[in-house]
Amino acid sequence: MAITAAQVKELREKTGAGIMDAKKALTETDGDMEKAMEFLRQKGIASADKKMSRIAAEGLVSSYIDGNVGVMIEVNCETDFVAKNPEFAELTLNLAKQVAAVNPANVEELLASTCAKCGQKVEDIIKEKIAKIGEKITVRRFIKVEGNPATYIHNGKIGVLLNTDKADEVVQKDVCLHIASSAPEFVSRQEIPQEVIDEETRIEMGKEDLAKKPENIRAKIVEGRVNKLMAQKCLLEQPFIKNPDETVENIIKDHFAIKSFTRWVLGEGLEKRSDNFAEEVANQMKG
């Protein structure tokens, strides 16, 4: 049967496929729109699988809060160009909403879950986006908390999810901004594992400037240095970024207690691409 321009347009609007791909799908399925969409999905899945070996260390950290539930998620792609695409941002936010809705235990459970709104598996939704956008897309990690969550995302690159025992939006926001800037590792001194303290003590004891000090003096100096280092790692003991004369503990004491916080930096620990977008385009132009 003859495929009309209107059919091609409709299929493109529904799937984001190119003109020739949409026309071929309709031709192969005798103009059946549902079968054509399935045809493209299968093609998209095959195309996506080929991209999964590529490096994806760009992307977005995003968050979503719904009442007493807070979610933060990191979704990676290959280039900053795609990360700035509104469609990629929408995908990342929708994935955070899916975490809030289905409470998966891990990424695998998230990918296997079904979106209530569209009836598709999350894994298939991502594969369709890979086919449309043309880059590898992976869900790296997510965290969900329940209580009184607050969040701050800095340009999609740094994300903070804070959970407190009481709600105070203004102070919670300030603390989130502080965490993003000052990068504490623990809420309080009590959370620091002994092995961390022991390791810092060992390092300080071995420093050359203390080598000629008497052992008792050296021990006191090391204790002071380690104590200072631990204070720098603890959120409550850090000087508050908006008022360095006060600690975070003093700032929050009349408002709430901090139950937990998570701070992520986009792509931390991941292998980075050694080329750039311009080089990739040039390479593709060469054939």
- Chain position carrying tokens 């598709």: 120
Cβ 148 vs Cβ 165: under 8 Å = yes
Residue 273, classed as helix, strand or coil, is coil
Which residues make Cβ contacts (< 8 Å) with residue 109, sequence separation at least 6? 102
Of the pLDDT bands very low, low, confident and very high (cuts 50, 70, 90), residue 208 is confident
| pLDDT recorded at residue 216 | 87
pLDDT digits 0-9 by tens, 26-40: 898 888 888 888 777
Q: Is 265 exposed, middle or buried (0-12, 13-18, 19+ CB in 10 A)?
A: middle
| pLDDT recorded at residue 94 | 97
Q: Which residues pair with 64 in a beta bridge?
A: 71
Domains defined for the chain, CATH in brackets: 5-51 (1.10.8.10), 58-146 (3.30.479.20), 189-259 (no CATH)
DSSP 8-state class, residue 58: E
| pLDDT recorded at residue 239 | 96
Average pLDDT, stretch 33-56?
A: 64
Distance CA 187, CA 165 (A): 14
pLDDT digits 0-9 by tens, 168-198: 999 999 999 999 999 999 999 999 999 999 9
